[in-house]
Amino acid sequence: MDNRPIGFFDSGVGGLTCIPYVMRNLPNERIIFFGDTARTPYGSKNIDTIKEFTMQIASFLKRKDVKMIVTACNTVSATCLPMLREHFPDIPIIGVISPTSKVVAKSCTREDNVGVIATKVTVASGEYEKKINKNNPDLNVFSKACPAFVPLIEEGIIDNKIMDLTIKYYLDDFIKENNINVIVLGCTHYPLLKDRIKSLYPDLEIISSSKEVAVAVEIELKKRGMLAAERSGENVFYASDITDNFVPMIQRILGKSEDELNIRFKNVDNEY
């Protein structure tokens, strides 16, 4: 048993979409979340820059004495896991791509055409194709980078025509040309678009990386005997910049009011 918190981080608010699944499945676990809202998005940046930011945040979480780090960001998961595991060999580091790929490989057949939508960096890494096809070589996997989604979501532009047009701009031809019937939300921001995508393409099956990583966290903690025996304190949500949208987004995703949440501003220049 281990009552220390689990550290989650993302480039912004997207990684928050993993948290409700963790809270539901593992109510004893304490969560420390860090959203790098000052420097989002990561998905179109140089890999060395992403690695630098990732090391800073993982070190911050490590100083908070977390028992596990979850890279609740596909872009970081695609580029930084070997580096993180080398630097922090004493704690488990869980990414989002492996657990999601396993579910895709298991639940789809060769009749399916799987479309992975993600950031530019995640798509360029080819990690989803590699991991899905490693587990199921017969599957047809297509990828599409959708770089405008994250900045719009961080601005709270979600439930409106601008987002619908952006979704159609990226997905209409992609779905038609490749006969896609399963879409993988390969970015933890994208579950916030799930209802819009579903209403535009009702026949699509949608698989979310945010849901699958929560299952992987539970399996890993159980395997290592590291589940929390009891709740040892409040969850804390850090942001490198408290943007207009950070608090409303936490409220929207977690369904709680600001008073019920422990939200802290972490100035990037201060402690990194």
Q: Which residues belong to the active site?
A: 73, 187
- 243 part of the interface to ligand DGL, by CB under 6 A: no
Cβ pair 176, 147 in contact under 8 A:
no
Nearer to ligand DGL, 116 or 228 (CB): 116
Q: By rule CB under 6 A, what count of residues binds ligand DGL?
A: 18
CA trace torsion 148, 82, 12, 97 (10° rounding): 60
d(CA 210, CA 226): 21
For residues 1-60, which are near ligand DGL according to CB under 6 A?
Answer: 10-12, 14-15, 40-43
5 vs 12 by CB, closer to ligand DGL: 12
With respect to ligand DGL, which residue has the nearer C-beta, 11 or 240? 11
79 binding ligand DGL? (CB under 6 A): no
Question: Are the beta carbons of 20 and 253 closer than 8 angstroms?
Answer: yes
User: Residue ranges of the alpha helices (H) in the chain?
Assistant: 19-25, 47-63, 74-79, 81-87, 97-107, 120-125, 127-135, 149-154, 161-178, 194-200, 209-223, 246-254, 268-271
Nearest-approach distance from CB 264 to ligand DGL, in angstroms? 20
CB nearer to ligand DGL: give 8 or 42: 42
Contact predicate 96/14, CB 8 Å = no
Q: How far is the CB of 189 from ligand DGL (least distance, A)?
A: 5
Contact residues: ligand DGL, CB under 6 A: 10-12, 14-15, 40-43, 73-75, 119, 122, 150, 187-189
